[in-house]
Amino acid sequence: MRAYGKVFAAAAAAIVIAVPAFAGGSHKGGHYTFGEPGNAAEVTRTVEVIADDSDGLGFRMDLPAVKQGETIRFVVTNKGTGPHEFSIGDTASQRAHARLMQSNPDMKHDDDPSAVTLAPGETKEIIWKFSKPIQGQLVFACQMPGHYEAGMVHTAKLEKAKRAS
């Protein structure tokens, strides 16, 4: 029983240390399972993204698939009446992002290269290199409370890199 007490104490300490990291309301960039921040010199194409809420919540963008290794510049414009977010991820990372946003709805993305928060009329860019294989699909989402659930999401297939012969 003594070992159980030590394990419980260690787990409780880890929670006490971890909770303040999320309470600040910001993501810090770091390890990504779906790629990495890109370099402007390596951009292979530009994708225009319109975040809009005039006829239901949604993104307008032409991106059915991405080739693994490709570096894309996303130019995101909020043409809606309220704030929106554009975040890049895979299925699992977007689920985790949604949980964070539920507990911190005012979270900002100042230090996260995979996401931007936009005020109405604002335009921002993300350059992302899709360098890693993923499970599932690429998911581009607005995780503002209720937006993803209302349809503000776009999915794309990641086409695996071809092996050199």
The answer to the question of residue 10 being in a domain is no
The answer to the question of residue 8 being in a domain is no
Give, for all 165 residues of the chain, the pLDDT tens digit.
454 444 333 333 333 323 333 333 334 445 799 999 999 999 999 999 999 988 888 999 999 999 999 999 999 999 999 999 999 999 888 888 888 878 877 777 778 899 999 999 999 999 999 999 998 899 999 988 889 889 899 999 999 877 655
Residue 54 to residue 80: CA distance in whole angstroms: 6
The answer to the question of residue 39 being in a domain is yes
The answer to the question of residue 61 being in a domain is yes
Structural domain span for residue 128: 27-159
* CA dist list (Å): 155 to 13, 15, 145: 38, 33, 19
Domains of the chain: total = 1
